[in-house]
Amino acid sequence: MNTTELAWFKSSYSTNEGGECLEIATTPTTIHIRDSKNPADATPTLTLTPTTWTAFLRTVR
C-alpha cells in the first residue's frame, strides 16, 4: 500500500512546536509508523502486525 493512501495521525500528546513525534496509520492487518518531521511518501516506515503493536504498547506503558 502506498503510504500516501493511509490516514496518518499524531498522538494527542504531540504539539505543533515540532520535536520528536511519530505518526501512526492503521489498516486491519498492519500498523504503520513514521517520523512526523519528514512525512513525505519516500520516508521509511516501520510496519507491524496488530499483535506486535499491542505487545509493544504493553511493554512501554
Each residue's pLDDT tens digit, 6-48: 898 887 776 666 666 888 999 999 999 988 776 666 678 899 9
Query: 4 by DSSP, 3-state: which?
Result: helix
Distance CA 19, CA 7 (A): 21
pLDDT at 55 over 70: yes
Distance CA 44, CA 14 (A): 20
Task: Write down how long the chain is.
Answer: 61
Is residue 55 within 8 A of residue 36, CB to CB? The reply is no
Distance CA 61, CA 43 (A): 27
pLDDT at 1 over 70: no
Question: Is this prediction's pTM over 0.95?
Answer: no
